[in-house]
Amino acid sequence: MSEILRLSSAYWSLIHTAVIFLVFFRSKYPVKKTVLLSCIFILPIIAANMIILTVYGAGVYGKIMLLTLVLPTFIFFYIISSLRDFRFFFTFCLVDTVSAALIILSSVLNYYITPNTNVLMFLIRVFGFLIIEIASVKKYRRVYFEIQESVTVGWGLFTLVAIVFYTVFIYLNAFPTAITERPEDMPTLLIFIFLMSLMYINIFLLLFNQLKLNEARFREELWILQSNHMQRRISHMTEADKRVRFERHNLRHRLQTIDMMLQKDDLSSAREYIANVTEEALETPIHERYCVNTVLDAVFSYYIGLATEKGIRVEHSLSLEQTLPVPPEELSVVIANALENAIIACENLPEEKRYIKCKCIQSPQLIFSISNPFEGEVEIDSRGAPVNREVGHGIGVRSTVAFCEKHNAVVDYKIEDGVFSIRIVIHK
């Protein structure tokens, strides 16, 4: 019974180490395909390692597991990873170290408390891995992904530190013999585990603080973006107000002129003057209303006008009411950003190929979409969003993501046949 518990706990530990890694892993494939490939590749490796452990014992297995288990799984996950940089290396070392720490601690405690039954080792590994998995999914996974997306520097140094600790940790556990065969070295190993835990805690505090700093910087950039957008709207409205005042001023003089003609009973001149003024008024461009909502109408007016000036054909179908399920000021920033990006993309094309298609509907759900042709390559990140690595750029994508997260909306980016499309669905 003792041997069954030992082997069962070992098999459980190997499987759930892979499960924990998949929780924090960013695959380039969909979830179902990633899990299927992992099962096909990882389960036979685990089975082979269990055979080695059963035949040769923990002492021999501890010395060769880097070659029989760690290296093959590392190569497999690296091949299917969407992050082939130091972030992947750090995640791999982190998960392996945490799992190894739990496995070794259970062995040490079992050595002192239930040395002949392996009951405590079995229970610690079974419930320990379950607790780690639940906490990872519910609390840490989302934060860790946010850190990976936001913090892109410093991972090389963190990985180097993690590799050093991981190597020393494995060495202390397995060389020259298994730690359970060297009771005098167990206090040293426990102290090392404590120091290693402090190291990881400090790394994560540093990364988390950097994440918060980046979020604060992003909010500042978003405020600047909103401020610039509002300035454009104010400028547009100011020009419109100037035109209204000019026409009002002209209207007063025209009415005075007509009044003078009527006082002189010069009806033919008055009729001719009215006809000329009417023709002039008909030729004067009138501001086109694109939708009922005042805020969004100002946005569409400005950017559609800007696109027209640049020789870009705009096809629009805008059905929006005055009352929207989201604040129109926030939605206006997202729409303005998408239209501005579309205009910039079209400017790089010959004039005959320039066009923007814009569509908004409010029923049964508020859906907004923009599509435009583009030239060159568009880099896509793990979320399917476009990436712009130029300094000062990329704020718009982050503001769109922030808007969607805040209002439970879904954003979908699509690239097909040289056409870039963005589609946002806002649930009521």
Q: Where are the domains of the chain?
A: 2-220, 237-283, 294-426
Torsion sign across C-alpha atoms 86, 90, 91, 93: positive
Amino acid at 22: L
Element at 367 (helix H, strand E)? strand 366-373
Per-residue pLDDT tens listing for the chain (428 residues): 777 888 888 889 889 999 999 999 888 888 888 889 999 999 899 889 888 888 888 778 878 888 898 899 999 999 999 888 899 999 998 998 888 889 888 888 888 888 778 889 899 999 999 999 999 998 888 888 888 877 878 888 898 988 888 888 888 877 888 777 888 888 888 888 888 889 888 988 888 888 888 777 766 666 666 666 666 666 666 666 677 677 777 777 777 787 788 787 777 877 887 877 776 655 555 556 778 777 788 788 888 888 988 999 999 888 887 788 888 877 888 888 888 889 988 988 888 889 999 998 887 888 889 999 988 776 666 555 666 544 344 456 777 877 787 788 888 888 888 889 999 998 76
Which neighbouring-strand residues pair with 357? 315, 371
Element at 211 (helix H, strand E)? helix 186-263
Q: Which residue has the tokens 């080792």?
A: 121
Instruction: Judge contact between 369 and 414, C-beta under 8 A.
Output: no
Torsion sign across C-alpha atoms 247, 253, 256, 260: negative
Q: How far apart are CA 345 and CA 324, in angstroms?
A: 29
Q: What is the dotted CATH code of the domain comprising 294-426?
A: 3.30.565.10
- Which whole-number Å values give the CA distances from 283 to 280, 289, 372, in the listed order? 5, 18, 32
Cβ neighbours, 10 Å, residue 9: 24
Question: Token pair for residue 61?
Answer: 């297995």
Q: How far apart are CA 184 and CA 176, in angstroms?
A: 13
What's 393's DSSP letter? -
Dihedral (Cα; 394, 400, 402, 408), 10-degree rounding: -160
Q: What is the pLDDT of residue 355?
A: 93
Question: Token pair for residue 51?
Answer: 């055979």
Q: How far apart are CA 425 and CA 331, in angstroms?
A: 12
Q: What is the CB-side half-sphere exposure of residue 283 using CA atoms within 13 A?
A: 6
* Backbone angles phi and psi of 117, in degrees to 5: -115, -25
Q: Compute the residue count for the chain.
A: 428
Q: Which of 372, 380, 386 is nearest to 339 (CA)?
A: 372
- C-alpha Rg value of the chain to the nearest Å: 33
Instruction: Judge contact between 425 and 410, C-beta under 8 A.
Output: yes
Q: What is the pLDDT of residue 372?
A: 92
Q: Which residue has the tokens 């929006």?
A: 320
Instruction: Judge contact between 174 and 189, C-beta under 8 A.
Output: no
Q: What is the pLDDT of residue 392?
A: 40
Please spell the DSSP secondary structure of 43-100, one letter per residue.
HHHHHHHHHHHHHHHHHHHHHHHIIIIIHHHHHHHHHHBS--SHHHHHHHHHHHHHHH
Q: What is the pLDDT of residue 291?
A: 80
